[in-house]
Amino acid sequence: MFDVIVIGGGPAGLSAALCLGRTHRSTLVLDTDEGRNAPAQNVHNFFTQDGTPPTEIRRVGAEQLGHYPSVRLRVAGVSGVERNGAEAFAVALADGKVEHGRRLLLATGLADELPAIDGIAPLWGRSAFHCPYCHGYEISGRPIAVVGATPDRVRLAVHLSRFTDDVVLCTDGPAEWPPPIAGALEKAGVDVRTERVTAVHAEGPDLRAIRFETGPELERSAMFIKTVLRQRSPIAAQLGCAIFPDSAVEVNEFGQTSVPGVYAAGDMARRSTVPMPVSAVIVAAASGTIAAGIIDQDLLSVEFDLPNPFANARS
């Protein structure tokens, strides 16, 4: 019986395991090595790790956990989870084995479903992006496109005008906006193309141009697209955790889900006061540390029959 089973070995899961290892909590980390940011060349906005490849961050994280004897890492998929009594969970692995833990921390992350643009997949994380904080600086001064016509796409196009003076908003169809939005585009110097986006022209992972249903190609070296987010794992839903319409698992500020004993961290989860999942690696790592500390305090309260200061904080 492990004190904690962490499902997911990305930044959130490894950070949580580090905290748990340093408090001598017996911890099992299960991971399939399928990180959301695997296509990206580097991680940014991570203090002391800016520009480090995501695979290197995982490698170093796993290596450092080796110093803590109470933590075990295993490459294994999870086929199902069920509650085993009032204070334990049974985790069925894809290889047929079953592990038991007193608490669960879900850090399985999100997956991106790319838009239906021919040729976009090889560019993902290389010259087709979703986040200006993760990738904007490296493409400063280059011709950029933003695909979409919703208010958040307009806002992003205006935002990127600070990075370059050549931003084009590709609305992928006719679009009309109220005067304030149209005025913001004009003030930022953002051009607009309204034809349907059909494909990209690229050389390997490098974008060269965007192709439309009609009209000439648009030469670009980077583009920002909006993906559809889904949970990488069905475990949270199987356990009955509250889930927002955007597929994020609902947690409070301590990583507690709506199911007692089950916690969630990383971009798979968010608070009700946050309008969308936050995809920064450093934020995922911080959320893992917070959840791990609360789990340790939760177990401490049970072990010594102490009042749990976080008992009433659950969503």
pLDDT 10s digits, 277-286: 888 999 999 9
Q: What global pTM score does this model have?
A: 0.95
Task: Count Cβ atoms below 10 Å from residue 310 Cβ, excluding itself.
Answer: 17
pLDDT reading at 315 higher than 60: no
Per DSSP, what are the bridge partners of residue 129?
Answer: 224
* DSSP annotation of 122: G
Per DSSP, what are the bridge partners of residue 100?
Answer: 90
- Geometric angle at alpha carbon 41, from 265 and 127, rounded to 5°: 105
Predicted pLDDT at 313: 66
Predicted pLDDT at 57: 96
pLDDT reading at 23 higher than 80: yes
Average pLDDT over residues 147-174: 97
Predicted pLDDT at 314: 58
pLDDT reading at 176 higher than 80: yes
pLDDT reading at 312 higher than 80: no
Predicted pLDDT at 87: 86
Phi, psi of 123 (to 5 degrees): -90, -15
Of 245, 272, 235, the residue nearest 78 (C-alpha): 235
pLDDT reading at 194 higher than 80: yes
Rg (CA), the chain: 22
Name the pLDDT band for 52 (thresholds 50, 70, 90): very high
Rounded Cα distance between 95 and 88, Å, is: 21
Average pLDDT over residues 166-185: 96
